[in-house]
Amino acid sequence: MPQARLCGCWGGRVLPLLLAHVCYLLLGATVFQLLEKQAEAQSRDQVQFEKLRFLENYTCLDQRALEQFVQVIMEAWVKGVNPKGNSTNPSNWDFGSSFFFAGTVVTTIGYGNLAPSTEAGQVFCVFYALVGIPLNVVFLNHLGAGLHGHLATLERWEEQPRRSQLLQILGLALFLTLGTLVILIFPPMVFSHVEGWSFGEGFYFAFITLSTIGFGDYVVGTDPSKHYISVYRSLAAIWILLGLAWLALILPLGPLLLHRCSQLWLLSRGLSLKDRGAPGMDGLPRPQKIPISA
């Protein structure tokens, strides 16, 4: 009997989802390959061309010496040291940058452009993440539970007058709109202005960050040619925490708002037809309530 249930679960739910997931991955791999492979080849050819031109301009160097120099640069980059500029570049481990790094650890973003290079720092990072990641999850869960408590009145939504229903929907829509502007629109504009990015690049950075993907191709406060304020990266870390909290809040609100709008539209249409004397509207079923679980 348990084996039959297991087979039924695999055949009815797990297997189709697994196939859909694999197909989605195959689709993504195909599209990314078509979009990025040619650009990568062009970049590789450009690097080789620049290396050859550099050797032609500086005949005192040979290929081996150049490769050793490139290796030094790559090792510095892996350790988070930007090879551009000179030794007066801002430290990657001042308090603001360290605060930003701590935020990327507990939120599991992990851009990859900066990591501890000392053994002590790596060990501390492991234990810091073991405590910080669950703490961050608990914080976001409690934040979502707090919102559910404030939305408890929506459980009695159908019992309220239509004017109150409309005001609640408008209030939710306004809340979502203002939050989206503050979290997802204005910060990319600020990052684009400070970093010299386009708005598309700034929005791309914001989405990759708040979705905790964290590629590391765009990271704020890393250009040595720019003079950032001391709290710039700390403010960015606070924005990340607020953005993740905002996402935790709006995830249950989106479907709820759509459902309430559809309910209000159906009720308005039913009442309108009823006023005109349309037959059969007296038995219009009341929309079922959606329980809001913590």
Domain range summary for the chain, segments of one domain joined by +? 16-83, 91-269
Q: At what angle do helices 232-275 and 199-210 cross, to 10 degrees?
A: 90
Q: What is the pLDDT of residue 285?
A: 46
pLDDT higher than threshold 80 for residue 211: yes
3 against 46, higher pLDDT: 46
Residue-wise pLDDT tens digits, 275-292: 555 444 444 444 444 444
Residues 6+ positions from 99 with CB-CB distance below 8 Å: 233, 234, 237
pLDDT higher than threshold 90 for residue 258: no
Dihedral sign, Cα of residue 199, residue 201, residue 206, residue 207: positive
CB 158 within 8 A of CB 260: no
Residue-wise pLDDT tens digits, 219-240: 998 887 888 888 898 899 999 9
Residue-wise pLDDT tens digits, 53-75: 888 888 888 888 888 888 888 88
Q: What is the pLDDT of residue 281?
A: 40
Taking alpha carbons only, the member of 160, 260, 278, 167 closest to residue 270 is 278
The dotted CATH code for 91-269 is: 1.10.287.70
pTM across the whole model: 0.71
Q: What is the pLDDT of residue 17?
A: 79
Question: DSSP of 36-95, one letter per residue?
Answer: HHHHHHHHHHHHHHHHHHHHHH-TT--HHHHHHHHHHHHHHHHTT---SS-TTSPPTTSH
The amino acid occupying position 226 is K
